[in-house]
């Protein structure tokens, strides 16, 4: 999803700081022994963008899972969520997949 979001930003001509663009993933495993499965994956993005691209960047975050082949492959079996800390000028926004319209 990291690369899909980067592509969504680039496709919208949104300049972002590639050095500080990060994603951290946390997976939840259920079961024990030989029978385990991934129950959920939570991804947290940190991203810095120019203020004039705020709305387009928020939209890119909201729709990027739809364009991700990995997400499409596992979404029916594994819950995948995302959160983001978006640095926009002097403002810091906290966004999440739970805030979808």
- Residue ranges and CATH numbers for the domains of the chain are 2-99 (3.30.300.20)
Give the strands of the sheet with 22-32, arranged side by side.
22-32, 35-49, 79-88, 91-96
Could you tell me the end-to-end alpha-carbon distance of the chain, in angstroms, rounded to an integer? 20
**Confidence grade of residue 101 (pLDDT, cut at 50, 70, 90):** low
pLDDT digits (tens, 9 = 90+) for 26-65: 999 999 888 999 999 999 999 999 999 999 999 999 999 9
User: Tokens representing 38?
Assistant: 């991934």
Residue 94 confidence (pLDDT) above 90: yes
Q: Which pTM value belongs to this model?
A: 0.89
Q: Are 13 and 29 in contact (CB under 8 A)?
A: no
Whose structure tokens read 């300049």? 15
Query: What is the share, in percent, of the chain residues with pLDDT greater than 90?
Result: 88
């Amino acid at each position: 999803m990291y690369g899909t979001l980067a592509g969504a930003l680039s496709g919208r001509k949104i300049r972002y700081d590639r050095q500080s663009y990060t994603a951290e993933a946390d997976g939840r495993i259920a079961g024990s022994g030989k029978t385990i499965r991934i129950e959920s994956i939570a991804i947290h993005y940190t991203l810095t963008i120019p203020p004039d691209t705020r709305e387009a960047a928020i939209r890119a975050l909201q729709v990027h899972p739809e364009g991700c082949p990995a997400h499409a492959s596992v979404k029916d079996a594994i819950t995948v969520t995302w959160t983001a800390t978006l640095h926009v000028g002097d403002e810091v926004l906290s966004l999440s997949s739970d805030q979808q319209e």
